[in-house]
Amino acid sequence: MTYQDLVNIEKSIDTSGIMLDGQWIYPVIKQGMLVNRLMPMPHSNNEKPHKKDIIKSLIIDFWFYVRTQHNIKQSDYVFFDATTYRRFVYKKKILSIFTDSVVELLQLNKATIIEATPKQYKTPTFSKRVVYENWLSQKLLIKNKFIKPVINVDFSAFHNLFEQLGVEIADKELKAFLSKFKLFQSYYAKLLQRLKPKVVFIVCAYTYKRMALINACKSAGIPTVELQHGFIYDNHPGYSYSENYGNNFFPDFLFAHGSFFKDELIKNSKIFTDEQIKVVGSPFLEFYDKANISLQNTELLNFIKNKKVILFSGQDSVQKSNREFLKELLPQLPKGYVLILKTHPAEHNAKDFYKDLFQHQNFYLEEHENILSLLKISNIHSTVYSTVLFEALFFQKPTILLHSEKYSSAAEHLVNGKDIFMANNVNQFTELLNQDFNKEIDANEFYEKNTSEKLVKYLNEII
């Protein structure tokens, strides 16, 4: 099933009866139970983690929480970063591109960032404004094994929904999920009482945990703002809803990068009104420009010297197909070209997974470097449907999209034959390298300018 298939099915089914505690909870069920079943992402390693790895992870989570839990204190601005793994190094600090960039741009003093443990960094710098919440989440999941909140739902409505979608979910599993969701609601309600924020910012607001947070914020009368973190396209499962029987689990506002994304949301979703979507631009792009951050990797700089550089943005959802494509492409790249594969932060054990590609002298694997620094040294960008497509346009770099039966619908309508192209196979890709690319790329519809001013303006309106 594709995302568009799910959107089409949703238009023909009635979800108004999917209720919990008098609230329309279909969005939570969709994000927490249905999407992964209907559209499972292919990964390189489907094996369950070893017990020792689980224990090690818990120890790391506990250590990070202990080192930062004292930062849970009253804050006017609280940020919940669900995609912490996209980070950058600035003045020897490891920062999130979505949350820290806003704090740095606006010089917010009373700000707290709640985020996941950055396990890909061996020696993190513990910030005075960061709390790593993984341990708290793990405690809740363990608690859910023993404490079961009362769940009163009309199971027949859920049975009918699952039947129409063609999925099998037992009542026991549904109860366990709803119990877990209610525990997260309670946890966030208590956390908000300690933080007492004037506004809560959320990155990736459509996970079931963040929906529990949003619901807790609404109960406490705290406004919520989603910071755009990725590509918002016309059939995105996190935003595409043909009906809206209540805004209990959606943020009050969304700060969008550009008018293009606002138009996509207004056209294809009923969860936001025109007034709720504020076009502010990208805080990280503006901060990156002002901070004058540059690539410091000497090995990589030597690798690309006097070469034409193709930057390939990986994604965990198309990891296997990307590897097979690169296996075929690398031996056929024209002389003078090199390819840098920037892995997606959710791609684990990348060196082992892509080990067959290291035999090619024109290949370089990069896991941690800031993507914007990589774009600046590149000539051409390539991906299936990564948000880096738009950042490439911002840096005046053309993009060659790779066709995917499952995912190309997200971006194929952007192909214009000037700065965005589509390749169905390796031959088409190498032919496009001879293309006379557009020298002047207009990215204004994707990234609004004067981000700092707009952030201040809209925050003053909201608070």
CB distance 202 to 99 below 8 Å: no
- Give residue 344's pLDDT band: very low, low, confident or very high (50, 70, 90): confident
**pLDDT above 80 (res 51):** no
CB distance 421 to 432 below 8 Å: yes
Which CATH entry fits the domain spanning 1-281+449-463: 2.20.200, 3.30.160, 3.10.129, 3.40.50?
3.40.50
State the Cα torsion 389-393-398-402 to the nearest 10°: 10
Q: How many CB atoms lie within 10 A of CB 81?
A: 25
Q: Which stretch of 7-11, 185-189, 389-393, 459-463 has the lowest confidence by average pLDDT?
A: 7-11
The span from the CA of 381 to the CA of 374, in Å, is 10
**pLDDT above 90 (res 4):** no
- Give residue 45's pLDDT band: very low, low, confident or very high (50, 70, 90): very low
- Give residue 145's pLDDT band: very low, low, confident or very high (50, 70, 90): confident
Q: Which stretch of 130-144, 341-355, 364-378, 424-438 has the lowest confidence by average pLDDT?
A: 130-144
First to last CA, the chain: 42
What's the rounded mean pLDDT across residues 184-212? 95
- DSSP, collapsed to helix, strand or coil, labels residue 419 as coil
- Name the most confidently modeled range: 145-154, 160-169, 290-299, 436-445: 160-169
Q: Which stretch of 129-133, 134-138, 140-144 has the lowest confidence by average pLDDT?
A: 140-144
Q: How many CB atoms lie within 10 A of CB 145?
A: 10
Entry pTM: 0.89
Nearest to 215 by CA among 260, 252, 256: 252
What's the rounded mean pLDDT across residues 352-363? 96
CATH topology for 298-432? Rossmann fold (3.40.50)
pLDDT in tens, 172-192: 999 989 999 999 999 999 999
284, two tokens: 């990280």
How high is the pLDDT of residue 348? 77
What's the rounded mean pLDDT across residues 269-289? 93
| Domain boundaries for CATH 3.40.50.2000 within the chain | 298-432
The more confidently predicted of residues 432 and 244 is 432
Positive or negative torsion for Cα 202, 252, 6, 37: positive
Cβ burial 272-301 (10 Å sphere, 16+ → b, else e): beeebbbbbbbbbbbbbeeeebeeebeebe
For the chain, percent of residues with pLDDT exceeding 90? 58
What's the rounded mean pLDDT across residues 248-253? 96
pLDDT in tens, 53-78: 778 888 888 888 888 888 899 999 99
What own/partner pairs with CB < 8 Å and gap ≥ 24 does 42-51 have? 42/317, 42/318, 42/319, 42/320, 43/316, 43/319, 44/319, 44/320, 44/347, 44/348, 44/349, 44/353, 45/348, 45/349, 45/353
Give the chain's mean pLDDT: 89
Amino acid in position 28 = V
Phi, psi of 365 (to 5 degrees): -100, 125
- Give residue 46's pLDDT band: very low, low, confident or very high (50, 70, 90): very low
**pLDDT above 60 (res 123):** no
DSSP state of 20: E
What's the rounded mean pLDDT across residues 421-431? 96
How high is the pLDDT of residue 454? 97
**pLDDT above 90 (res 281):** yes
1, two tokens: 């099933």
Tell me the DSSP string of 140-188: HHHHTTT--------HHHHHHHHHHHT----HHHHHHHHHHHHHHHHHH
- DSSP, collapsed to helix, strand or coil, labels residue 90 as strand
How high is the pLDDT of residue 49? 60
How high is the pLDDT of residue 94? 77
Q: How many CB atoms lie within 10 A of CB 259?
A: 15
CB distance 335 to 366 below 8 Å: no
How high is the pLDDT of residue 119? 61
**pLDDT above 50 (res 44):** no
